[in-house]
Structures are given as structure tokens and as C-alpha cells.
């Protein structure tokens, strides 16, 4: 790392220092830095526990437990100035301990972490949001023997790197990051450099039988849900056509739990939702975040008038932490019970025209807001009739 001097147009090399010389500790500092900024390790990770000790017949604790975007468990072990000679064996033990964790156990571990640190919310909902899944029943966590190991240390001993390289050749999913602190006057800097990359490896199967059975059940359930959804949307679209509702006239049935139709404004659409416990209608803002919130706020300022026009109270979900915003109306049903489908479809046929009649008159005003606040060239400024976005 170099310090740039603008006045002299020169760079000066900064010398690395030891964590111990700076008074930093492994748990109180390095662990907290990574827990609060996991993307420093080069990817999106969801930290689900710190100092995890939920292993049978042992008092050992792993530093950080996380999920990656595939749902795999990631064991993160942090060391300060020296990795130590036993760090690989330590991590392998943790991976073996974690290999048997089921989806329910992982959600419970995460919920304990949420409650302990007052993060708020439910573990299953946070996991769904992180993995971009609508329903927790569709989520697969800790699949097969895909547990990952990440080692973070200032220095890695030769015997450690030699063992790691050998394990990589045998398909273990492992990464090493070198953590180097630098001091410049009163400022302290940190670099986290991956020194041993994770190669692509073939999946190998030595998982726990109970967990593998769970995965098979989930996979079979997904196939069943896809078949159910396609059939439900087919019947729903037929009913809408028969009732003369044209909004979904050019839309085909889908295996997804949603079915979208364009509103006439880019990145704003209608959605019918079919889940195992409810059916719903949504007016969705799905463009740039600032634009979405501005359009949502514009409508929400007149929510009483809009709800009166619609004929029922709506659920206004601004969702400040997400890009999208949603206005929703829903009704509870046992959605995967085909005997209830006629009633569900009747509900959609009843309320979908009301949804369209409520928001269609708002499109021109929303378009003016886009042009005024975000420029004529902004996404959504032009008419996009029939777009499903």
C-alpha cells in the first residue's frame, strides 16, 4: 500500500504493522470488522451467528457462521498475526460439525443471533430476502457436502498453506485471506487479500442422510409446486378471458408464483400472486430505487382517495431497505388445495379489474413525475404499452 502526496506528485510505501502492536484483538476487532462488513471477503455473505458453540459433546466455538448466495454454509475462522499450525484441523472439525445442520436448525441458529443482537425480524424472512426466494419452503440450505471454509490471518504458516493446497485438490471449498494492517500517522488501514483462491470443484457426496432426504423432499416439492402453479395460472387466465378482463390477454401461464402484466409505464407493473397460504394482487414499482420511492410516495400521499376508489384497504409497502415498492391486496386461502381454486380465481376475477381501474388513471401523473424529477431520458419517461417489465 502506498500513500499519495499530491503536492510532490510522489508515492510513499506504507509499512505493514502487527495487529498486536496496534492493540487489536481477534474477537473484539477482526471478528467484528468482518461480521459487520462481510463483503470485505469479496462476496455477499449473510452472517447468521458469532462464536457459535451449538455442537454436541464439545465446547468448541467457531468464529463466524454465514450463508452464501447459494445457501451453502460458510465457516469463517479468524486469526491475528499468525494462523497457527492447527487452524486447518480446527476448521475441518467445524465443517464436519456443521455438515449435519438442517434448514430448520440453521433458521433457529440465525433467529437466536437476530434476537441476541436486537436486529429485528424473522430468520426465515431474512434468509428468503438474501437468497431472493419468495417462500421459505423453496429454500435449500447447507446442500450436500458444500460447506465452505474461509481463513483470515495476517500470516499463514508453510505447513498450513501446504495442507490447504492439498485439500483444494481434493475438492474442499476453501479460501484464505491475508489481513494486513497499515498505519499512517493517526490513521489505520486494512487490506484483505485472497491469497489462496477457491477453485471450481466437482460436487462430492458424503452428506448426512437426514439432510439429503430433506433436499430430495424439497426438490420433489418444487416440481409439484411448478405443476400446480402452471395449472392454476392456466385456469385463472381462462376465467379472466371469459369475464372480459383484458389486462392479461397477452400473458401465458407460468411455473412462478407470480404473473405480471404491464401498466403502460416502464418498470411499473401489475402482479397476480399465488402462494400456498394466500392469493394476492400487487401494483409494483421495480425501477431505480429513488424513482420507485418517489412514485410510491406520490400515490401514498393520496392513499385514502385511492383506497376509496379501489373499494378496500390496501397494504402500502414502501420497503426502504429494498429497491422495489409494492401496493398489495391479498386474501388468505389454502392455495395448494385444488378444491379451493374456484373461489381463489373468483376472487382474482372480482378484484383485478378494480386494481386496474384504480391505478390506470394514475399512470399519466406518475409519468409526469418521472419526466420532471428524473429527466425525459430517464427510464419510464416514455409510454410502454403492454410491457410486462
**Do residues 189 and 262 both lie within one domain?**
no
Residues 294, 339 within the same domain: yes
CATH number of residue 314's parent domain: 3.30.1460
102 and 157 assigned to the same domain:
yes
Do 156 and 22 lie in one domain? The reply is yes
Q: Are residues 196 and 223 in the same domain?
A: no
Does residue 57 lie in a domain region?
yes
CB atoms within 10 A of CB 206: 8
The answer to whether 181 and 161 have CB atoms below 8 angstroms apart is no
Question: Do the Cβ atoms of 324 and 285 come closer than 8 Å?
Answer: yes
Query: For the residues of 54-77, what is the DSSP string, one character each?
Result: --TT----EEEEEE-TTS-EEEEE
Q: End of a domain among 207, 228, 257?
A: 207
The range of the structural domain enclosing residue 314 comes to: 213-384
- Do 153 and 224 reside in the same domain of the chain? no
In a domain, 162, yes or no: yes
> Which residues of the chain carry a pLDDT beneath 70?
56-57, 83-84, 197-223, 376-389
Is residue 256 in a domain?
yes
What pLDDT, on a 0 to 100 scale, did the predictor assign at position 215?
54
In a domain, 281, yes or no: yes
Would residue 126 count as lying in a domain?
A: yes
Residue 5 and residue 63: Cα distance in Å, rounded?
39
Q: Residue 65 in contact with residue 73, Cβ under 8 Å?
A: yes
Evaluate whether residue 389 is within a structural domain. Answer: no
Pair 229, 106 in one domain: no
Tell me the pLDDT tens digit for each residue of 188-223.
Answer: 899 998 888 533 333 333 333 345 445 544 444 555
Confidence (pTM): 0.51
Grid cell for residue 36? 459487520
Pairing of strands 315-317, 10-13: unpaired
Q: How far apart are CA 222 and CA 109, in angstroms?
A: 25
Q: pLDDT tens digit string along 9-39?
A: 999 888 888 888 888 988 889 999 999 999 9
Max CA distance (Å), the chain: 79
**pLDDT for res 105:** 94
**Looking at the structure, do residues 163 and 197 belong to the same domain, yes or no?**
yes
In angstroms, the CA 304 to CA 300 distance is 8
Q: Are residues 368 and 256 in the same domain?
A: yes
Does residue 20 sit within a domain?
A: yes
- My answer on whether 77 and 147 are in the same domain is yes
- The answer to whether residue 335 sits within a structural domain is yes
Report which of 276, 247, 274 is spatially closest to residue 258, judged by C-alpha positions. 274
Give the span between the Cα atoms of 269 and 113, in whole angstroms.
Answer: 37
Query: Which of 207, 234, 266 is the C-terminal boundary of a domain?
Result: 207
Per the listing, cell 393520496 goes with 302
Block residue for cell numbers 499450525: 85
Q: Measure Cα distances from 268 to 129, 243, 296, 387 in Å.
A: 21, 25, 10, 9
238 with 100, same domain? no
Question: What pLDDT was estimated at residue 170?
Answer: 77
Q: How far is CA 377 from the centre of its chain?
A: 31
183, 207, 231 — which closes off a domain?
207
Residues 103 and 63 in one domain: yes
Residue 85: CATH number of its domain = 3.40.1350.10
| Domain total of the chain | 2
Amino acid at each position: 500500500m502506498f500513500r499519495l502526496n499530491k503536492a510532490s506528485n510522489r508515492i510513499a510505501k506504507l509499512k505493514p504493522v502487527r495487529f498486536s502492536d496496534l492493540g487489536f484483538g481477534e474477537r473484539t476487532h477482526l471478528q467484528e470488522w468482518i461480521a459487520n462488513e462481510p463483503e470485505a471477503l469479496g462476496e455477499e455473505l449473510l452472517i447468521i451467528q458469532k462464536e457459535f458453540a451449538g455442537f454436541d459433546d464439545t465446547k468448541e466455538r467457531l468464529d463466524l457462521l454465514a450463508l452464501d448466495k447459494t445457501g451453502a454454509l460458510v465457516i469463517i475462522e479468524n486469526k491475528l498475526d499468525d494462523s497457527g499450525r492447527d487452524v486447518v484441523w480446527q476448521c475441518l472439525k467445524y465443517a464436519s460439525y456443521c455438515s449435519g445442520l438442517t434448514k430448520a436448525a440453521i433458521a433457529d441458529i440465525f433467529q437466536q443471533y437476530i434476537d441476541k443482537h436486537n436486529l429485528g425480524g424473522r430468520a426465515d424472512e431474512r434468509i428468503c430476502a438474501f437468497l431472493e426466494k419468495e417462500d421459505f419452503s423453496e429454500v435449500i440450505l447447507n446442500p450436500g457436502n458444500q460447506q465452505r471454509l474461509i481463513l483470515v490471518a495476517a500470516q499463514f504458516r508453510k505447513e498450513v498453506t501446504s495442507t490447504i493446497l492439498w485439500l483444494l485438490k481434493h475438492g474442499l471449498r476453501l479460501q484464505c485471506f491475508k489481513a494486513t494492517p497499515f498505519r499512517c500517522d493517526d490513521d489505520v488501514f486494512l487490506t484483505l487479500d485472497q491469497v489462496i483462491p477457491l477453485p471450481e470443484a466437482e460436487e462430492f457426496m458424503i452428506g448426512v442422510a437426514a439432510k439429503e432426504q430433506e433436499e430430495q423432499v424439497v426438490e420433489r416439492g418444487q416440481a409439484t409446486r411448478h405443476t400446480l402453479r402452471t395449472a392454476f395460472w392456466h385456469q385463472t387466465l381462462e376465467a379472466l378471458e371469459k369475464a372480459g378482463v383484458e389486462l392479461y390477454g397477452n400473458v401465458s401461464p407460468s411455473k412462478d408464483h407470480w404473473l405480471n402484466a404491464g401498466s403502460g409505464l416502464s418498470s411499473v407493473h401489475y402482479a397476480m400472486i399465488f402462494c400456498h397460504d394466500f392469493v394476492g394482487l400487487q401494483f409494483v414499482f421495480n425501477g431505480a430505487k429513488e424513482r420507485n420511492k418517489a412514485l410510491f410516495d406520490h400515490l401514498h400521499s393520496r392513499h385514502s382517495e385511492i383506497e376509496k376508489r379501489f373499494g378496500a384497504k390496501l397494504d402500502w409497502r414502501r420497503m426502504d431497505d429494498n429497491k422495489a415498492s409494492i401496493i398489495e391486496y391479498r386474501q388468505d386461502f389454502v392455495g395448494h388445495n385444488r378444491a379451493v381454486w374456484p373461489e381463489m380465481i373468483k376472487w382474482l376475477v372480482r378484484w383485478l379489474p378494480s386494481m386496474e381501474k384504480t391505478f390506470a388513471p394514475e399512470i399519466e401523473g406518475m409519468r409526469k413525475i418521472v419526466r420532471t424529477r428524473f429527466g425525459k431520458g430517464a427510464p419510464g419517461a416514455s409510454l410502454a404499452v403492454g410491457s410486462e417489465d
